[in-house]
Amino acid sequence: MHDIKFIGSFPGYRDCPMNNSPEFAFIGRSNVGKSSLINMLMGRKDLARVSKQPGKTQHLNFYLIDKKWYLVDLPGYGYAKTSKKMRKDFEVMINQYLQRRQTLQCTFLLIDIRISPQAIDIEFINWLGANQIPFVIVFTKSDKNSDKQNEENVETFKEELLKTWEAFPQYFVTSSEKTRGKEELVDFIQGMNKQFFDYYS
């Protein structure tokens, strides 16, 4: 069981706590299963708010994990029922955090494995690449498909992205319902944390 402390919910990059600990951000299109994945990863049922109504995360939510690193829950993008101004405010808040937060080690970009490649996801990946922001792709909801369908859908996504990318980014296939991918994600974070602390020790 992780030692988890909710630090706060912050409306902008400049409001975030000052610290020297590594941070890992989670983001994805609204209704991609971000809260469920975070809860699965941390072994909690109610850490991140799970809602049938997308768009509930509207700030930068900081959690201190094991007194060593921060999990940062970012607002989802692409939710049509928010106002145009709110969507723009979210975009500015997210972009500033991702571009300027020096302790950010990696961004976990969540993609629903069940659906075909979405332009908004491809655009966001291209933006991350153009701004040299380290990220990995996390495919969610794999329990909703057969293994064969999941493999085919990942290949379709690869084909789409490789139209503009030289290599496909590192990725994980997960299911919050079946806890699939949990061990791999935890190992990945632990590995990056070790590199961080070894470098600054």
pLDDT digits (tens, 9 = 90+) for 135-146: 999 999 999 999
31-35, 56-60, 175-179 — which is least confidently predicted? 56-60
Q: What whole-number distance in Å separates Cα of residue 51 and Cα of residue 164?
A: 35
What pLDDT, on the 0 to 100 scale, is given for residue 53? 45
What CATH number does domain 4-200 carry, 3.30.70.20, 3.40.50.300, 3.40.50.12780, 3.40.50.360? 3.40.50.300
Q: Which amino acid is at 4?
A: I
Residue 51 predicted with pLDDT over 70: no
Residues 6+ apart with CB under 8 A from 79: 29, 30, 31, 54, 55, 87
Closest among 174, 159, 100 to 133, alpha carbons compared: 100
Q: What whole-number distance in Å separates Cα of residue 180 and Cα of residue 173?
A: 7
Please compute the mean of the pLDDT values over residues 163-171 and round it to a whole number. Answer: 97
Q: Which sign does the torsion angle of CA 67, 51, 139, 72 carry? A: negative
Which of the pair, 5 or 57, is modelled with greater confidence? Answer: 5
pLDDT in tens, 64-116: 999 999 999 998 887 656 667 777 778 889 999 999 999 999 999 999 999 99
pTM (2 d.p.): 0.92
Domain ranges of the chain: 4-200
What pLDDT, on the 0 to 100 scale, is given for residue 117? 96
Q: What whole-number distance in Å separates Cα of residue 152 and Cα of residue 130?
A: 27
Please compute the mean of the pLDDT values over residues 174-193 and round it to a whole number. Answer: 97
Place of tokens 């020790």: 201
Residue 134 predicted with pLDDT over 50: yes
Contact criterion met (CB below 8 Å) for 50 and 36: yes
What pLDDT, on the 0 to 100 scale, is given for residue 81? 60
What pLDDT, on the 0 to 100 scale, is given for residue 49? 60
